[in-house]
Amino acid sequence: MKAFWMFLMLVGCWTSTATHSLSSCTFKYKLQTVCIPAGHNATVTCPELTGELVRFNFLKNQELIYSHKCNNTRKTLNCTSHSFRDGGEPRVKMENKSARFELTAVNASSHAVYLCVAEVLFPPPLPPPVPSPEGVVVLVEGHQCNKVNKQENHRHPDAEQRSDHLWIWILVIVSVIIYSTIITVFALSFWVKLKKTDSQSDYMNTKPRPPRGPRKNRGVQNPAPRYF
């Protein structure tokens, strides 16, 4: 048992030194940009880890500002936190095998790239630190960003009314085009039929009449009297 606690102390010393060198590590992760109103909160989620002793490190612009270490060797979860800066400590919420850091009451100085890096401290072998899949770029509304999307989602009523009128005009124009097309098709069909009828009439009128049959020689019906 004594050897176990000695090992934990050595691991704690080694990881403490390694934690301070996290700023020199290069992590691959995506960036998610959020525009937060001043005074509101921003959340950074940590990756899930399985281990008896784990630590979640909170970085601001690749600099360690806060760490949260949890011991799972007992039935109850025992966690301790350490801040590397004065003031502005984030809230920490444990979620199953992960943690979530919450920046409270952000202001203009909160503009930065935040990242959570998780470490397994026990048992060995110790895997390399694992960053969260996404780093969070916090922009403060009115300083580094404006809520353009919010303005677009809550448009002025006059703009919505103009949009409705536009759709009505589009439907009217489409209906007129369809009606005109149908009338044109019927008119062309009727004209073609009429043209065929006129052509047949002209053909019948210009066709030569067949010659009449030869007239029969009936002879003289009233012969002139003969005088001798």
CA distance 8 to 217: 147
Strand partners, 95: 98
SS (H, E, C) the chain: CHHHHHHHHHHHHHHHHHHHCHHHCCCCCEEEEEEECCCCCEEEECCCCCCCEEEEEEEECCEEEEEEEEECCCCCCEEEEEECCCCCCCEEEEECCEEEEEECCCCHHHCEEEEEEEEEEECCCCCCCEECCEEEEEEEECCCECCHHHHHHCCCHHHHHHHHHHHHHHHHHHHHHHHHHHHHHHHHHHHHHHHHHHHHHHHHHHCCCCCCCCCCCCCCCCCCCCCC
Q: Tens of pLDDT along 189-221?
A: 888 888 877 676 655 656 555 556 555 555 555
Whole-number Å distance between alpha carbons of 135 and 28: 10
pLDDT score recorded for residue 203: 54
Query: Model-level pTM?
Result: 0.56
Are β-strands 30-36 and 91-95 bridged in parallel, bridged antiparallel, or unpaired? Answer: unpaired
Find the mean pLDDT for residues 60-69.
93
Of 55-69, 84-98, 170-184, the range with the lowest mean pLDDT is: 84-98
Lowest mean pLDDT among 16-25, 119-128, 131-140, 177-186: 16-25
CATH topology of domain 22-145: Immunoglobulin-like (2.60.40)
CA–CA separation, 86 vs 32, rounded Å?
A: 27
* Closest by CA position to 90, among listed 120, 69, 63, 59: 59
d(C-alpha 129, C-alpha 25), whole Å = 9
Question: Average pLDDT, stretch 147-176?
Answer: 69
Q: Minimal CA–CA distance to 134: which of 30, 1, 12, 25?
A: 30
What is the pLDDT of the chain when averaged over all its residues? 78
CB 20 within 8 A of CB 89: no
CA distance 2 to 6: 6
